[in-house]
Amino acid sequence: MSIEDRTGLLWYDCDWQQLRELELLATGKLNIGATVFEVGAHQGIVAMMLAKIVGPTGRVIAIEADRRCVEIAQKNLVLNGITNVTLVHAAVAATSGEINFAEGCHVGRDERGLNTQMVKAVTVNDLSKEFGIPDVLFIDVEGFECQVLHGARETKIPPRSIDLSTA
């Protein structure tokens, strides 16, 4: 792991157990050969976990708005020999274009006193046209989830039921 900032030190400088969310998704479509869109990839840790699950025939499209996090994620992918992850520097939103982003923080918010910049905004629909329809949409965007889903209205992810009583 490349730990290059305080957040990385606090969050990633330890061993991680398999995430419960990934165990649950593995009872559905998260399996070998799957295509996953990871929206809010941060420094690539979950993308690497997903890449291991989908295997060499699967792929992870990891989208992150913070340019510095994208750079760190790229280093982490190289350090770990992960080749089935594609990093996309953008914010996933309800509409394409540009969106205000507070570095190291959130999109679409007025974060007074923080360094903000405009970043490219893409929709799940845009990503689906470029990379194909995902089997799994994994979203972790700190309160911006509804905007991400609004931008997925044209993307028809085939349903597969998950029995929550056994998960």
Range of the domain at 30: 6-150
When divided into structural domains, the chain yields a total of: 1
Residue 1 in domain: no
User: What CATH number does the domain containing 110 carry?
Assistant: 3.40.50
Residue 43 in domain: yes
Residue 98 in domain: yes
pLDDT at residue 74 is higher than 50: yes
Q: What is the pLDDT of residues 100-133, one digit of tens each?
A: 887 655 454 455 556 788 999 999 999 999 999 9
**Spatial separation of the C-alpha atoms in residues 118 and 107, rounded to whole Å:** 9
What is the pTM for the complete model shown?
Answer: 0.85
For 36, 60, 66, 164, the CA distances from 39, given in Å and listed in that order, are 9, 10, 12, 23
Residue whose entry in the numeric block shows the structure tokens 């750079």: 71
Which residues pair with residue 138 across a beta bridge? 38
Residue 162 in domain: no
pLDDT at residue 166 is higher than 60: no
CB count in 10 Å sphere of residue 65: 30
Classify strands 35-39 and 136-139 as parallel, antiparallel or unpaired.
parallel
Give the mean pLDDT of 24-39: 92
pLDDT at 114: 63
pLDDT at 159: 67
Residue 84 in domain: yes
Q: What is the DSSP letter of 47?
A: H
| Cα 137–chain centre separation | 8
pLDDT at 167: 46
pLDDT band at 54 (very low <50, low <70, confident <90, very high): very high
Residues 6 or more apart in contact with residue 81 via CB below 8 angstroms: none
Residue 122 in domain: yes
Residue 161 in domain: no
Residue 167 in domain: no
Given a contact cutoff of 8 angstroms between Cβ atoms, the answer to whether 29 and 54 are in contact is: no
Q: What is the DSSP letter of 22?
A: H
* pLDDT more than 70, % of the chain: 87
Euclidean distance between the first and final Cα of the chain, in Å? 30
